[in-house]
């Protein structure tokens, strides 16, 4: 995390403005975001609560406690940069040969007993979506 060039990835708020209150540094917010993702914490208010309660997370974000609006703003304003970080992680895993040759696609759709053509995936559809 600390080795990423956040400016090149497109994160905002790396260099604080001369006026006003400074942003939370993007590296701290990214750590918070990834922690939430890995621990299935999807909601900003819940992530705020965890940042104030969970000792592991308090250590990770250096005792900072951003509120839910700050977390939501970070996610919204830095969405393309967060996607780039995820892409770099996938590339790192590929270079380290951590992925097998097989592919698994997971679809979280819930539907009644109708298999809609738009909701099912074949090998050809997956290849089209990947490129």
Per-residue pLDDT reduced to its tens digit, 16-35:
666 666 678 888 888 898 89
Tens-place pLDDT, residues 78-89: 888 888 888 888
Residues 6+ apart with CB under 8 A from 93: 99
Tell me, yes or no, whether 118 lies in a domain.
no
For residue 46, the model assigns a pLDDT of 93
Predicted local confidence at residue 95, as pLDDT: 86
Residue 94 lies in a domain: yes
**Total structural domains in the chain?**
1
The answer on pLDDT for 15 being more than 90 is no
Q: Contact 77/12 with Cβ under 8 angstroms?
A: yes
In a domain, residue 71? The reply is yes
State the residue range of the domain holding 29: 6-100
Q: What is the pLDDT of residues 44-72, one digit of tens each?
A: 999 999 989 989 989 988 888 888 998 99
pTM to 2 decimal places? 0.64
């Amino acid at each position: 995390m600390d080795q990423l060039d956040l400016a090149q990835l497109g994160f905002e708020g790396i260099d604080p403005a001369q006026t006003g209150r400074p942003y939370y540094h993007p590296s701290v917010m990214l750590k918070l975001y990834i922690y939430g993702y890995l621990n299935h914490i999807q909601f900003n208010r819940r992530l705020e609560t965890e940042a104030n309660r969970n000792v592991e997370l308090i250590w990770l974000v250096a005792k900072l406690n951003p509120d839910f609006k700050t977390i939501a703003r970070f996610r919204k304003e830095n969405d393309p940069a967060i996607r780039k970080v995820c892409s770099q992680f996938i590339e790192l895993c590929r270079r380290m040969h951590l992925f097998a040759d097989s592919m698994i696609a997971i679809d979280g759709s819930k539907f009644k007993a109708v298999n809609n053509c738009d909701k099912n995936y074949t090998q050809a559809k997956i290849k089209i979506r990947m490129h």
